[in-house]
Amino acid sequence: MAVSNQYAEIKKLLDKFITPSESWTPVEKALFTPEMFFTNYKKNQELLLPAIKHSFKHHYENNVLFKRLCEVDNVTVDNIKTLDDVKKIPLLPDSFFKDYPEGKGFLTWLDNIYTGSTPMPNFRTEAPDHDEVIEQFNQKGVSIMFTSGTSGRFSFIPRNTGSWDRLRYNAIRSIVELMDYDPNDSVVLLIPDPRQTNLTIAGLFGIAYDLYKPENIHVALEDTKITTQFLRMQRADTIGLKEKIKAKAMAKLSPIVQKKSDLRMIALFEKFEKEGKRANIAGPPFWLNRVMERMIKEDRKVKLPDSQVLTGGGWKAEEDKRAPEEAFREKVEDILGIPQNRYHDVYAMSECSSVFLSCEGHYKHVPPTIIPLVLDEELKPIGYNKFGRFAFIDPIPDSYPGFIITGDKVKLFEKCPVCNHEGPVLDIEVARLPGVEGRGCAAVMAELMESEE
């Protein structure tokens, strides 16, 4: 595709998300003004300070819980004047989004973390189950994304339509700038149908429907609605025998279904090779690994030199067992014939409106719409080049405060050691801090895939 044509296509795609400038708050201004995220990074960041100030004021004034936290830390709106001041903003631990009571208290909890008045639906009972909560809020225009830890508890992140659209725009910008984007490419999504689930990873990969033509998108597992209940049922430790029997009966992801799906994916790869088509293969690493293992077993290899791989959702919970990214990239190159500089990984969290997508050199680029922080054990910022706990100031959501401390261990560099895109980068490997519960969508899905016997 001609380059000028491609720019026109990208512009059209992004324009769809841009709201009329008369209605912009400083948050929309910071998000929609830059023509490129990773060029003129410093200039883009000048727009970020007013956005953070606006967002902080909004949550301070409309979120009772956050305001209380600010009072404890003695921080008011007047204290946040410069980019350096943003480090004073009180941060919420990500575990906070998991600390909800079961049953009746759940809605009160949700009402507390929601900034402004919660668009509370009418529930059939006083203690609706999580699926009903998600379903009913969806109808009110609030999408509740969830992700799960190994303990079986879910994080609930309430996002109104505006916050979700801004997240999508933000992620799309990183994709079109850091990857080789062509709207005519084919896509293979190694995930359940993203239109049918609220699992964060599926929702994020569902952005493919914004970027590519629906007829060119192939989903590995269709017609599988992953609900919180379904996920919970897969966890032997959290359920009783009765539920376990039920879970077995409804376990659609049996080894037979997996195998059938994997063979369908391999046939697609072979078709792309034969027709000389470009494809973007996206999904959690364990899933792609399983497909590649089958290819090795059946002695089938393909050469897709113009295609790309995008992994995400984290690696499997057991860190010691995981294949380091580098070894995985080599395997992708060997089995699928996709060069390593066309392999990308994305670090993303339900709680965060930015995705950290790796460039051709595998460093994860921080978009200019967020302030990344690395904290020491006392939760004090330590700057660049040192390992610490990842935290961020995310002004994009208005339905919950996006000022969050994660349990992930990262290192931040002021600039990418490999490519020319501007702005800071996260080191290639992101790990869970010791003692912090393993979590992530990929871990949950990996469990789903484990054979029943």
User: Is the CB of 161 or the CB of 385 nearer to Zn ion?
Assistant: 385
Minimum Å gap between C-beta 178 and Zn ion is 8
Minimum Å gap between C-beta 360 and Zn ion is 7
Minimum Å gap between C-beta 82 and Zn ion is 28
User: Is the CB of 75 or the CB of 428 nearer to Zn ion?
Assistant: 428
Contact letters (x/-) for Zn ion, 234-253, by CB under 5 A?
--------------------
Provide the sign of the torsion angle of the four alpha carbons 12, 18, 19, 23, taken in this order.
Answer: negative
Say how many C-beta atoms besides its own lie within 10 A of residue 28's C-beta.
Answer: 20
Q: Which residue's structure tokens are 């997996």?
A: 258
Contact letters (x/-) for Zn ion, 326-365, by CB under 5 A?
---------------------------------x-x-x--
The residue count for binding Zn ion (CB under 5 A) is 6
User: Is the CB of 75 or the CB of 418 nearer to Zn ion?
Assistant: 418
User: Is the CB of 363 or the CB of 400 nearer to Zn ion?
Assistant: 363
Minimum Å gap between C-beta 174 and Zn ion is 12
User: Is the CB of 243 or the CB of 427 nearer to Zn ion?
Assistant: 427
Contact letters (x/-) for Zn ion, 253-272, by CB under 5 A?
--------------------
User: Is the CB of 231 or the CB of 416 nearer to Zn ion?
Assistant: 416
**Torsion angles phi and psi, residue 263, rounded to 5:** -65, -35
User: Is the CB of 183 or the CB of 361 nearer to Zn ion?
Assistant: 361
Minimum Å gap between C-beta 427 and Zn ion is 11
Minimum Å gap between C-beta 38 and Zn ion is 8
Q: Stretches 243-251, 272-280, 286-294, 411-419: which one binds Zn ion (CB under 5 A)? A: 411-419
Minimum Å gap between C-beta 363 and Zn ion is 5
Minimum Å gap between C-beta 418 and Zn ion is 5
**3-state helix/strand/coil string of the chain:** CCHHHHHHHHHHHHHCCCCCHHHCCHHHHHHHCCCCCCCCHHHHHHCHHHHHHHHHHHHHHHCHHHHHHHHHHCCCHHHCCCCCHHHHCCCEEHHHHHCCCCCCHHHHHHHHHCCCCCCCCCCCCCCCCHHHHHHHHHHCCEEEEEEEECCCCEEEEEEEHHHHHHHHHHHHHHHHHHCCCCCCCEEEEEEECHHHCCEHHHHHHCCHHHHCCHHHEEEEECCCCCCHHHHHHCCHHHCCHHHHHHHHHHCCCCHHHHHHHHHHHHHHHHHHHHHCCCEEEEECHHHHHHHHHHHHHCCCCCCCCCCEEEEECCCCCCHHHCCCHHHHHHHHHHHHCCCHHHEEEEECCCCCCCCEEECCCCCEECCCCCEEEEECCCCCECCCCCEEEEEEECCCCCCCCCEEEEEEEEEEECCCCCCCCCCCEECCCCEECCCCCCECHHHHHHHHHCCCC
User: Is the CB of 17 or the CB of 413 nearer to Zn ion?
Assistant: 413
Minimum Å gap between C-beta 211 and Zn ion is 21
Residues 304/270, Cβ–Cβ less than 8 Å: no
User: Is the CB of 239 or the CB of 418 nearer to Zn ion?
Assistant: 418
Minimum Å gap between C-beta 161 and Zn ion is 32
Would you count residue 416 as binding Zn ion (CB under 5 A)? Answer: yes
User: Is the CB of 418 or the CB of 431 nearer to Zn ion?
Assistant: 418
Please pick, from the candidates 253, 279, 412, 419, the single residue that binds Zn ion as defined by CB under 5 A: 419
Q: What are the residues binding Zn ion (CB under 5 A)?
A: 359, 361, 363, 416, 418-419
